[in-house]
């Protein structure tokens, strides 16, 4: 069965199949095989248990995009996601799958201009993808109406639970019409999630996809901790330090991939950008140049990288940290193939250390910290490569045409000075230290990131800063100086500790508390 035929039998239209071909999808994933026909040919609600990275967005997105009428004047579908990063990714992926259909899709999340979001919503939107906090803001302001929905989709429900968003989700559901279809996706199915399915959904079909092993063999995994402003300079240093660099650089957004590719071109590198705005012809042209190594650097988004099959990459670089462990594995799995060891490089800012720890734990990988090569080390590495190449040319190449000029140059001149002059003539710019910029705060202190913790004890429990510190230190042996920014309120308290200490505290105080309200948990982030 051809790749296109394997999607056609699911019931998708020819127009959608063209989009699938354009995106480079190879064959349906297990979740797509089960969800797409159900969404197209039944009216049941759906509860799907599957990891992130198994193709969930396309599983609900392709039927959604087929069935929503572009002439509708109301929001017809809402997708709730737990994080800004996932909101952006889902919105971009849905946009990349709509083909020529004139459907408007709007991401709505904290940190983005409220006025901009309000303008988009006023102009009319068919699908809203958003985080619960910002969706609630719009509902309270009455700048968003969701009482004519065809679809309500809750993505990564267990993460919603972990982040304390379930109450918001239940509140948002009160603003919706009762005759919509509900779709709930979650990697795990704790009791609280199943309760939502039982109380908020109609008759539903339960779909479970077996977990995939999150491992990547033959890939050396390293990370560098750098500030956001230093990432591009760090990228250039790695490319120059490595011999015969041939790599894929992952960014979070289309704008990022375009900007980084252009900056690389300005610095003299052979680079191309790959993202969802490219036509099929443009995509094929870019991929052809990359596969033939006419360019050795491809800067891509996760969505655009689907279907890329290049087996001899030396490096995959996470310019932006992926939002979940599955995306990390999918990215770095593109190197270390065909029996060769590849290298996966991840840039993190100090505040992202906790996210990297989660990825490391869930993938059971060892991602070791390294120091960026210094300017002197890069120049020395280049000099070694130049020496090797020149010596090989002297032995292997036919240099007959150049011998007379060499004899003229050496006549009456010092041989070492003549060779030094030739090297300067040929490699002056490449060996110029001024080509690189110094990095400020290049190596931040290890474990510099902090976590804000919520403690379910306050003034009414006679809690004081002193008592809180004693409770933590006696139970976990964490030094008191690690506990900062203590704030005691009537019914609860807050404190800030380094990431690794936070993990220790959470593990200790929540041991054996399954199903019970935890005493200590991560404070809910402000969106």
Residues 173 and 309 in one domain: no
* CB proximity list for 425: less than 8 A, separation 6 or greater: none
Residues 277 and 228 in one domain: yes
Q: State the pLDDT at residue 527.
A: 39
How far apart are the C-alpha atoms of 520 and 526, rounded to whole Å?
Answer: 18
* CB proximity list for 458: less than 8 A, separation 6 or greater: 488, 489, 490, 491, 492, 493
Query: Residue 496 phi/psi, 5° resolution?
Result: -120, 130
Nearest Cα residue to 186 out of 214, 165, 202, 215: 165
Q: Residue 231 maps to which CATH number?
A: 3.40.50.300
pLDDT of 124 over the 60 cut: yes
Q: State the pLDDT at residue 89.
A: 81
Q: Which domain holds residue 511?
A: 450-522
Residues 229 and 150 in one domain: no
Residues 462 and 406 in one domain: no
State the residue for tokens 């720890």: 357
Q: Find out whether 108 and 135 touch, Cβ atoms under 8 Å.
A: yes
Question: Best-predicted range by mean pLDDT among 23-27, 173-177, 431-435?
Answer: 173-177
How far apart are the C-alpha atoms of 61 and 8, rounded to whole Å?
Answer: 16
Q: State the pLDDT at residue 513.
A: 59
In a domain, 465, yes or no: yes
Residues 363 and 380 in one domain: no
Mean pLDDT of 416-435: 83
How far apart are the C-alpha atoms of 286 and 310, rounded to whole Å?
Answer: 13
pLDDT of 444 over the 50 cut: no
Q: State the pLDDT at residue 164.
A: 78
Mean pLDDT is lowest, of 62-71, 245-254, 278-287, 408-417, for: 278-287
How far apart are the C-alpha atoms of 62 and 67, rounded to whole Å?
Answer: 9
Residues 21 and 79 in one domain: yes
Residues 175 and 248 in one domain: no
In a domain, 257, yes or no: yes
Average of per-residue pLDDT values in the chain: 84
CB contact burial 432-451 (16+ within 10 A = b; e otherwise): eeeebeebeebeeeeeebbb
Confidence tier at 445 by pLDDT (50, 70, 90):
very low
- Burial class from Cβ neighbours inside 10 Å (0-12, 13-18, 19+) for residue 180 reads buried
Confidence tier at 446 by pLDDT (50, 70, 90):
very low
| DSSP state, residue 21 | H
Q: State the pLDDT at residue 311.
A: 66
Residues 316 and 194 in one domain: no
Strand order in the sheet with 450-455: 484-488, 493-498, 450-455, 520-522
Last residue in a domain, options 372, 393, 426? 372
Mean pLDDT of 459-487: 84
Q: State the pLDDT at residue 525.
A: 60
State the residue for tokens 């619960």: 132
Q: State the pLDDT at residue 80.
A: 95
Number of domains in the chain: 4
Confidence tier at 337 by pLDDT (50, 70, 90):
low
In a domain, 213, yes or no: no
- pLDDT tens string 491-521: 888 888 888 788 888 888 877 655 567 888 8
Query: Residue 445 phi/psi, 5° resolution?
Result: -60, 140
Residue 1: CB atoms within 10 A of its CB come to 9
Q: pTM for this structure?
A: 0.54
Last residue in a domain, options 372, 390, 407? 372
Structural tokens at position 292: 């033939």
In a domain, 214, yes or no: no
In a domain, 182, yes or no: yes
Residues 414 and 460 in one domain: no
Mean pLDDT of 104-121: 90
Q: What residues are paired with 153 via a beta bridge?
A: 79, 183
Nearest Cα residue to 208 out of 338, 386, 40, 30: 30
Q: Find out whether 27 and 1 touch, Cβ atoms under 8 Å.
A: no
| DSSP state, residue 442 | -
In a domain, 95, yes or no: yes
Q: State the pLDDT at residue 447.
A: 42
In a domain, 444, yes or no: no
Residues 14 and 103 in one domain: yes
pLDDT of 131 over the 50 cut: yes
Last residue in a domain, options 349, 372, 395? 372
Q: State the pLDDT at residue 340.
A: 60
Nearest Cα residue to 324 out of 26, 12, 53, 28: 53
- pLDDT tens string 183-241: 999 878 888 888 888 888 888 999 988 655 555 666 889 999 988 888 999 999 999 98
In a domain, 443, yes or no: no
Q: Find out whether 329 and 250 touch, Cβ atoms under 8 Å.
A: no
Mean pLDDT of 442-467: 74
Residues 53 and 176 in one domain: yes
Q: State the pLDDT at residue 213.
A: 55
How far apart are the C-alpha atoms of 151 and 68, rounded to whole Å?
Answer: 9
Q: State the pLDDT at residue 477.
A: 81
Q: Find out whether 375 and 436 touch, Cβ atoms under 8 Å.
A: yes
Structural tokens at position 370: 């390294």
How far apart are the C-alpha atoms of 170 and 467, rounded to whole Å?
Answer: 36
Strand order in the sheet with 151-154: 105-108, 127-130, 77-80, 151-154, 181-186, 45-49, 204-208
Residues 155 and 248 in one domain: no
Q: State the pLDDT at residue 324.
A: 73
Q: Residue 496 maps to which CATH number?
A: 3.30.70.330
| DSSP state, residue 373 | P
């Amino acid at each position: 069965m051809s790749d296109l035929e394997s999607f056609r039998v699911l019931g998708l239209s020819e127009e959608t199949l063209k989009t699938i071909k354009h995106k480079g999808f190879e064959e349906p994933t297990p979740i797509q095989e089960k969800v797409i026909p159900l969404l197209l040919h039944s009216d049941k609600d759906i509860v799907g248990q599957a990891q992130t990275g198994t193709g969930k967005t396309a599983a609900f997105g392709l039927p959604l995009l087929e069935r929503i009428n572009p002439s509708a004047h109301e929001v017809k579908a809402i997708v709730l996601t737990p994080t800004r990063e996932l909101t952006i990714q889902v919105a971009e992926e849905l946009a990349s799958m709509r083909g020529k259909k004139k459907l408007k899709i709007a991401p709505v999340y904290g940190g983005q201009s409220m006025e901009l979001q309000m303008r988009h919503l006023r102009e009319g939107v068919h699908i809203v993808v958003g985080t619960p906090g910002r969706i609630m803001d719009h509902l309270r302001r009455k700048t968003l109406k969701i009482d004519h929905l065809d679809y309500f989709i809750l993505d990564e429900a267990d993460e919603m639970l972990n982040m304390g968003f379930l109450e918001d989700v239940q509140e948002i559901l009160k603003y919706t019409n009762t005759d919509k279809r509900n779709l709930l996706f979650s990697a795990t199915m704790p009791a609280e999630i199943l309760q939502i399915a039982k109380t908020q959904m109609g008759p539903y079909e339960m779909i479970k996809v077996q977990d995939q092993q999150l491992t990547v063999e033959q890939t050396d995994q390293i990370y560098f901790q750098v500030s956001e402003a230093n990432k591009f300079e760090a990228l250039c240093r790695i490319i120059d330090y490595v011999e015969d660099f041939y790599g894929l650089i992952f960014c979070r957004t289309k704008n990022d991939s375009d900007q980084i590719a252009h900056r690389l071109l300005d610095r003299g590198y052979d680079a191309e950008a790959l993202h969802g705005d490219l036509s099929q012809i443009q995509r094929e042209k870019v991929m052809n140049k990359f596969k033939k190594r006419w360019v050795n650097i491809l800067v891509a988004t996760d969505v655009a990288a689907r279907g890329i099959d290049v087996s001899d990459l030396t490096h995959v670089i996470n310019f932006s940290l992926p939002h979940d462990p599955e995306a990390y594995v999918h990215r770095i799995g593109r190197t270390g193939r065909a029996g060769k060891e590849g290298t996966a490089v991840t840039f993190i800012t100090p505040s992202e250390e906790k996210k990297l720890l989660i990825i490391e734990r869930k993938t059971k990988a060892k991602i070791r910290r390294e120091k960026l090569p210094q300017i002197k080390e890069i120049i020395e590495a280049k000099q070694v490569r130049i020496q090797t190449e020149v010596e090989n040319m002297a032995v292997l190449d036919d240099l007959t045409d150049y011998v007379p000029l060499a004899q003229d140059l050496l006549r009456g001149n010092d041989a070492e000075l003549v060779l030094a002059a030739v090297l300067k003539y040929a490699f002056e710019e490449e060996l110029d230290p001024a080509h690189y910029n110094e990095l400020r705060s290049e190596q931040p202190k290890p474990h510099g990131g902090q976590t804000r913790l919520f403690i379910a004890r306050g003034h009414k429990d006679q809690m004081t800063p002193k008592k809180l510190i004693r409770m933590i230190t006696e139970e976990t042996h964490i030094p008191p100086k690690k506990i900062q920014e203590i704030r005691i309120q009537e019914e609860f308290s807050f404190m800030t500790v380094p990431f690794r200490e936070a993990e220790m505290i959470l593990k200790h105080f929540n041991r054996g508390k399954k199903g019970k309200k935890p005493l200590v948990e991560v404070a809910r982030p402000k969106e």
